[in-house]
Structure 1
Amino acid sequence: MTVDTPSEQTPSRATDRPGDASPFALGLLLRRAHTRAATVMAEALRPLGIELRHFAVLISLVDRGPMVQRDLAQATGSDKAGIMRVVDDLERKGLAVRKSVPGDRRVRSVEITAKGLELFDAAHLAAEPLAEGLVAQLEPGEPERLTDLLTRFTYPAPAE
């Protein structure tokens, strides 16, 4: 009876282990990093009664000001139905309001409320020590370098 054993010529399987040369390794590492960071940030938001999907909308509204729902969906990577549910939640909590857009009765703009701004600030205070813990194993300067690299990776410069 023969036993099938991998030969030395069998290519390695794609993993997210450090040093994996697979073309999938980076994506797998990014996914694991996202899951770890999202779990930690969700922990910071839980006592405030919101989820990451809510906070993503609040960030967009703080950064860009009032936005129509279509643009808000694009800014947060959501779809039309998803953004409507999130905005419904934020409205129920008094964190955002929908307003009519002059000249187009079908379009609604979303705006953060004073209560939403207070929660936004509270979320940052709650998240700060947790965010520091995420990068505690990195050397001085590496958290900033990681942020820079991920920013350039996520938002590549337009091709000339």
Structure 2
Amino acid sequence: MTADSPRKSTVSRATDRPGDESPFALGLLLRRAHAHAAAVMAESLRPFGIELRHFAVLIVLVNQGPTVQRDLAAATGSDKAGIMRIVDDLERKGLAVRKAVPGDRRVRAVEITPQGVELFDAAHVAAEPLAERLVADLGPGESAQLTDLLTRFAHPADDET
């Protein structure tokens, strides 16, 4: 092979185009789908002055109640410093508060405030038309099928989280 000629490969090139048989194709498609969905959901949150990272914490607080920061970090895929910044933002906005955990002076639990619950509910109402737009190109039943498949993919039966 000379330096002038490109090397021919029988290996599939990784793309995110339909029909790509590369072992990386699914990951790339999921990444593209995530970016598209995140942009749409961020648009719905913008009027409320919060970002998806803030809303992810609010989801955990609504679902689990008061939660210590290390568990918030694990639940949202954040790191310690990142979760601290997010909780600081939520506190400044009056959407969450840190409270002492009985029996451990070093640990603080984060709790959603009534104002946070109001914002959470209002954001869901505002997001509904955008979420419908997100799946508008899918056929009847395909949105539910996609949700089912992604749920099983993201939470395998043997996954304890």
TM-score, scaled to structure 1 = 0.93
Provide the C-alpha distance between the structure 1 equivalents of 2:85 and 2:120, rounded to a whole number of angstroms: 19
Q: What are the equivalent positions in structure 2 for 1:5-154 lying under 5 Å apart? A: 10-154=10-154
Provide the C-alpha distance between the structure 2 equivalents of 1:17 and 1:89, rounded to a whole number of angstroms: 38
Structure 1 gaps, min length 5: none
SS at match of 1:136: coil
Please report the RMSD computed on the Cα atoms of aligned residues, expressed in angstroms: 1.4
Offset of 1:6 from its aligned partner?
Answer: 7.0
Provide the C-alpha distance between the structure 2 equivalents of 1:6 and 1:102, rounded to a whole number of angstroms: 65
SS at match of 1:111: strand
Structure 2 gaps, min length 5: none
Offset of 1:4 from its aligned partner?
Answer: 3.6
Provide the C-alpha distance between the structure 1 equivalents of 2:88 and 2:30, rounded to a whole number of angstroms: 31
Provide the C-alpha distance between the structure 1 equivalents of 2:58 and 2:11, rounded to a whole number of angstroms: 46
SS at match of 1:54: helix
Offset of 1:127 from its aligned partner?
Answer: 0.6
Judge which range, 87-96 or 150-159, deviates more. 150-159
Q: Deviations over 1:41-66 (max 9, x none)?
A: 00000010000000000000001111
Q: Deviations over 1:82-128 (max 9, x none)?
A: 00000000000000000000110000000000000000011101111
* Identity fraction in percent: 78
Provide the C-alpha distance between the structure 2 equivalents of 1:81 and 1:147, rounded to a whole number of angstroms: 31
Provide the C-alpha distance between the structure 2 equivalents of 1:70 and 1:39, rounded to a whole number of angstroms: 27
Q: Deviations over 1:15-45 (max 9, x none)?
A: 0111110000000000000000000000000
Residue identity opposite 1:89 in structure 2:
D
Provide the C-alpha distance between the structure 1 equivalents of 2:10 and 2:70, rounded to a whole number of angstroms: 48
Q: Which runs of 4+ in 1 moved over 4 A?
A: none
SS at match of 1:14: coil
Residue identity opposite 2:59 in structure 1:
I
Provide the C-alpha distance between the structure 2 equivalents of 1:22 and 1:48, rounded to a whole number of angstroms: 40
Provide the C-alpha distance between the structure 2 equivalents of 1:79 and 1:125, rounded to a whole number of angstroms: 30
Provide the C-alpha distance between the structure 1 equivalents of 2:10 and 2:5, rounded to a whole number of angstroms: 12
